[in-house]
Every structure is written in structure tokens, then in C-alpha cells.
Amino acid sequence: MAFQPVKFYQTGTFTVGNRLLAPEERSVQADMARINSLNSGHRACQGCGEALGARYAIDAAMRSTGNRLIAANATGCLEVFSTPYPETSWQIPWIHSVFGNAAAVATGIAAALKVKGHAEVRVVAQGGDGGTTDIGFGCLSGMFERNDDVLYICYDNEAYMNTGVQRSSATPPGARTATTMAVGPQPGNCFGQGKDLPRIAMAHGIPYVATATVADLRDLEYKVARAMSFHGARYLHILVPCPVGWGHGSHETIRIARLARETGLFPVFEAEDGEVTGVSKIRKPVPVEEYLRPQKRFAHLFGRPPRIDIIAGLQEIADRNIRRYGLLDSTD
């Protein structure tokens, strides 16, 4: 599983690198010569989790494939901020598709490479939660069902941020968006809807499904490398906080992602052939309130009077995740 034994008590292996670690034990991001697949000058907002997650993931994929990689990109923040014609931040072969068909485009690239005899060149498709869970879902499910040799990476910031924070099927219950206002008896997004895409991907029985966050770089890099060790359809779901859409400080992006994991609201696990094979345990358990409070999209839950029922509902979701995936060490 993803989690290296603690070797260095100064920092464990939680930091990006460390002068005391042998070079091969450091992360891809610690490398002075890292590829920087998403280069400086992109127009993502300050503290963008998606820009960070995309560089983490694609740099790791480049490392795994010896820089033999082609990326197909769905429309969304990632495409808009990285490639306003004629400039681009991408330092890899990269193709823009429309909102809904990144998976299909990637399938086509993989098929073409196979025909041309370039088996060593690998393909990733990437998009936001809107392009993945809503608009591109049909193409994605088809790609899974055909087991095409593509790694699909979803950068989940839980709404349509590029167009002004509209709800997606990945928006959590209770969250305020432009289309789920904090008004009425059930303010914010409703309970009981949305899609748990990692589990839907697992239901397709594809070789590899994993979740990760930008708060745990080493786990994320491990999962990209693990995914690239398989052929066939693979799915990686990365939680990437959005300071603007979620309403937290631009410096808090990583802390918020960490809290999503530590509360249990975002379970971090991996699965092979439809079976969970490993989970990232919670290190310091915290109630969901600590995750919700710093985010303005949940501010209406803490008004006068506070919506204890909705907070309790979210805690219930976290508790179910903790039970379902065994996120707490039984020794604790």
C-alpha cells in the first residue's frame, strides 16, 4: 500500500523531500530537474488546488512513463487557465477536447498509438468533476466498459468553478453554490443526490481505481505510479480544494484537503478489479465541523441558529465512510 514506514523522525516522510533521505526515496516533486508539466504563468487563481494536483499527477505520470505521455484534456478550469490561445503552460503533448468527450478522445489516441506500434507511449485523460461526473460520464463509462488503455484523472473541486460555481453531481450536501443558494428550509445542496464516481468506476471492474488529495503528495505519486503499472482503463479521483469556490483562504488549500481526509468526508483508498485493496488511515481524527467552518460555502450552517441537523447529516456521511473503508486504526 501507499504508506511508507516512518524512517525519519525529524519529519517522517510527510514532507515533499528531505536532505536526509536518499534521492530515490524523495518525491518526484522534490527533484530539482522535475518536468514541471504545468509551467509557471498559468492563470489559475491564487492557491489553486487543481493546478497543484495536475502538476503533481502529470509529473508523476511522466516519471513513470519515461516522459512518453500524451494527455487529453476536457474543457474546464484546467483547460481555460492553462491554455488561452496561443499560450500554453503544458510542457507535454497535450490535446484539448470539448467538455464531454475527453475519455473518448483519449481512447482514440490509445487506439491510434496501438495501430502505429507505439505501445510504449501512454495516454491520460483529465478533467474536472463537471466534465467527469456529469457531462463526460457517458464517454467515461464507455471507456471503462471497453477497458481502453487510458488513465483517467478527475480533479474534483466539487462544482463548476470555471463558469461561476454552479452545482455538479460531485457537490457535497449542504454546500452553497450559485445554483444551490443558502435559502429556504433546506439551504445549499440537497442530501441524497450526487454520484460517488470512484465506486461507480469500481463497479465497472476495471483494473485500478484510487482516490487521493493534494494534501498527501507521496500517496498521490504512489497511486499515479501504481496506475501506470497496469494496462487497461484506470481511474484516479483527486480532491483539489478551490479557494474561490469553497470560500477559504488561498493559503489553506492543502490544510482543507487534509481536513477532508482526516474527518472521513473524503475517503482515500485504492481498489483493484473492483475490490478495495488499501486505505489511507486517518492520522488525527477530527469532527466534520473543523472542515466545514473555514469554508464560506458552509457558512450558513453556522448562523443563528446553527443548522445542527445538516452538520450532523454530514458527520453521518463521514462516519459511514470511516466504517465502510475502515479509516481508523482499530488499535486507537
Partner 1 sequence: MEKPFAITLDPGSSLANRTGSWRTSRPEYVDRLPPCNHACPAGENIQGWLYHAESGDYEAAWRELVKNNPLPAIMGRVCYHPCEGACNRGRLDESVAINAVERFLGDEAIRRGWRFAHGAPTSGRRVLVVGAGPSGLSAAYHLRTLGHAVEIHEAGPLAGGMMRFGIPQYRLPREVLDAEIARILDLGVKLVLNAKVDDLLETMRAGRFDAAFLAVGAHIAKRAYIPAGDSSRILDAVSVLRSMEGEDQPLLGRRVVVYGGGNTAIDVARTARRLGAEEAILVYRRTRERMPAHDFEVEEALQEGVMMKWLSTIRQADEGRIVVEKMRLDDKGFPQPTGEFETLEADSLVLALGQDVDLSLLQGVPDLEIRDGVVKVDSHLMTGYPGVFAGGDMVPSERTVTVAIGHGKKAARNIDAWLRGTARQLAPRHELASFDKLNTWYYSDAPKTVRPVLDILRRQSTFDEVVGGLDEGNALFEARRCLSCGNCFECDNCYGVCPDNAVIKLGPGKRFRFNYDYCKGCGICAAECPCGAIRMVAEQI
| Helix, coil or strand: residue 279 | strand
281 binds partner 1 (CB under 8 A): no
Q: Are 35 and 62 in contact (CB under 8 A)?
A: yes
CB of 277 to partner 1, least distance (A): 24
Q: Residue 26 or 324: which CB sits closer to partner 1?
A: 26
List the one residue from 249, 273, 306, 320 that touches partner 1 (CB under 8 A): 249
223 binds partner 1 (CB under 8 A): no
List the one residue from 25, 134, 196, 252 that touches partner 1 (CB under 8 A): 252
- Residue 211's closest CA among 157, 260, 267, 166? 267
List the one residue from 114, 251, 296, 323 that touches partner 1 (CB under 8 A): 251
List the one residue from 20, 112, 181, 203 that touches partner 1 (CB under 8 A): 20
From 1-9, 176-184, 187-195, 200-208, give the range in contact with partner 1 by CB under 8 A: 1-9
Phi then psi for 252, rounded to 5 degrees? Answer: -95, 5
List the one residue from 102, 113, 206, 217 that touches partner 1 (CB under 8 A): 217
The full length of the chain comes to: 332
Q: Residue 6 or 190: which CB sits closer to partner 1?
A: 6
Please state, in angstroms and rounded to a whole number, the distance separating the CA atoms of residues 297 and 208.
33
Q: Is 156 exposed, middle or buried (0-12, 13-18, 19+ CB in 10 A)?
A: buried
In eight-state DSSP terms, residue 112 is H
212 binds partner 1 (CB under 8 A): no
Site for partner 1 in 61-90 (CB under 8 A): 82, 85-89
Q: Residues with Cβ < 8 Å from 217, sequence gap 6 or more?
A: 16, 27, 29, 56
Q: Are 111 and 117 in contact (CB under 8 A)?
A: no
170 binds partner 1 (CB under 8 A): no
List the one residue from 47, 100, 130, 198 that touches partner 1 (CB under 8 A): 47
296 binds partner 1 (CB under 8 A): no
Pairing between β-strand 151-156 and β-strand 122-128 as defined by DSSP bridges: parallel
293 binds partner 1 (CB under 8 A): no
Q: Are 227 and 277 in contact (CB under 8 A)?
A: no
List the one residue from 163, 193, 229, 250 that touches partner 1 (CB under 8 A): 250
Site for partner 1 in 88-117 (CB under 8 A): 88-89
- Paired strand residues for 153: 126, 236
- Paired strand residues for 72: 95, 125
261: left (phi over 0), alpha (psi -120 to 50) or beta: alpha
Q: Residue 55 or 176: which CB sits closer to partner 1?
A: 55
Applying CB under 8 A, the residues found at the interface with partner 1 are 6, 8-12, 14-20, 26-27, 29-30, 32, 36, 38-44, 46-49, 51-52, 55, 82, 85-89, 217, 243, 249-255, 258
